[in-house]
Amino acid sequence: MVVVTGQNKVSGNPDDAMSSSDAEDDFQEPATPTATQAGQALPLLPQQFPEVVPLNVGGMYFTTRLSTLRRYEDTMLAAMFSGRHYIPTDAEGRYFIDRDGTCFGDILNFLRSGDLPPRERVRSVYKEAQYYSIGPLLDNLEDIQPLKGEKVRQAFLGLMPYYKDHLERIIEIAKLRAMQRKARFAKLKVCVFKEEMPITPYECPHFNSLRFERSESETKLFEHHCEVDVSFGPWEAVADVYDLLHCIVTDLSDRGITVDHQCIGVCDKHLINHYYCKRPIYEFKITWW
C-alpha cells in the first residue's frame, strides 16, 4: 500500500534538490527584513515635521509653528527640528522634550515676537536659554535687571581672593559647631577689611604717605592673621566693607541659609610702636532651623 504525505514532490535531478539544513539557514537569515522587523525599526532620517508642531515639554503642552522653532539657526531647538535628528513623540503624537516646561512659554514668546519675561522669572529663563543655546535671548536678559546688576557685582567679587572658598568655610564651620553643640544656631567671627595697612585714629590724616613710605621689611611687621574664623580682604575698589558684607549675606541667603551679623569690635593686636591692627570684626550667626 502506498502512503501519500503532504511533502512536496522532489525533482529527480540531485542538483535541483535543497537539503533541509540549507532551507533552515535560508529561513533564519532572510535577505530582506520582515514586515515585523521593519515596524520595530526607528524611522529613517531625515524626520519630517508638520508646519504646526505640537510639543510636550516635561509634561507641559505647547503648540507653535515650525518656523518659530527654527527662528535662530544656531540654537538647539533649530537643530532638534532641522530633520537631522530623531525626536520621540508621546502617546498623543506630541514631540517630546525631556526638560522642565515651566519657562518654555517664555522661550517661545521670545522666538515669536522678541518678548522678554517679567523680572521675577529672568534668572530661570536665562538658565533655560543657556540650555537651548539661544544667544540673542541671553544677550537681552544680561542687559536687564537683575542680571545686569549681577554682572557688576561679580566684577567686584572678582577682586576678592578665594571668595567662594571662604563662603564654603563659613558654612562648614557653622555646621560643625551646631552639630557638636546640638544647637539650632552657630556663631563665628569674620574679619572684613578693605585696606592692607593698619589704621588708628591718629594715623588716618597721614595714611597715604605712611603707606608708601614704608620699606618692604617694615611692611612685613604689619602682616598677621586676625584671630577669626574667616577673613575677607584686602581689595582695591570703590565698594567698601558694607558692600562686601551685603554680598556675603546675599550669597548665603541664596543657598537657603539664614544669617545675621553685627560688628563686635576691631582686632586690637599690637603690631609695632603705636600701630594696632584695627580691622573690623563681625559676628555671624547662622541659624539652621
- DSSP codes joined into one string, 234-279: ---SS--HHHHHHHHHHHHHHTT-EEEEEEEEE---EEETTEE---
Same domain, 129 and 242: no
Q: What's the CA gap between 266 and 198, in Å, rounded?
A: 11
With cell 506630541, the residue in question is 94
For 161-212, the pLDDT digits (tens) are 899 999 999 999 999 999 999 999 999 999 999 876 555 544 444 444 444 4
pLDDT of residue 5: 46
Looking at the fold, whether 106 and 163 belong to one and the same domain comes out as no
- Entry pTM: 0.66
Average pLDDT rounded to a whole number, residues 141-146: 94
* C-alpha–C-alpha distance, residues 285 and 168, integer Å: 15
At 5-46, the pLDDT tens digits run 444 444 445 455 444 444 444 434 444 444 444 445 555 557
Give yes or no for residue 224 having a pLDDT over 90. no
Same-domain status, 173 and 280? yes
pLDDT of residue 267: 87
**236 confidence band (pLDDT: 50, 70, 90):** confident
Q: Go through the chain and tell me how many residues it has.
A: 289
Percentage with pLDDT > 90 across the chain = 62
Starting at the edge strand found earlier in the chain, the sheet holding 258-266 runs 230-232, 185-192, 280-287, 258-266
Domain count within the chain: 2
With H, G, I as helix, E, B as strand and everything else as coil, classify residue 230. strand
Residues 282 and 178 placed together within one structural domain of the fold: yes
C-alpha cell at 169: 568655610
User: Within a domain: residue 172?
Assistant: yes
Question: By 3-state DSSP, what share of the chain in percent is helix, strand and coil, each rounded to 5?
Answer: 40, 15, 45
Averaged pLDDT for residues 127-151: 95
> Looking at residue 70, which CATH number applies to its domain?
3.30.710.10
Closest CA to 76 of 137, 132, 131: 132
Residues of the domain holding 117 = 52-144
Q: pLDDT confidence of 269, banded at 50, 70, 90?
A: confident
Q: Write the pLDDT tens digit of every residue in 82-108.
A: 999 899 999 999 999 999 999 999 999
218 pLDDT tier (thresholds 50, 70, 90): low
Instruction: Note whether 172 and 219 are within 8 A (CB).
Output: no
DSSP H or E segment with residue 185: strand 185-192
For residue 23, is it within any domain?
A: no
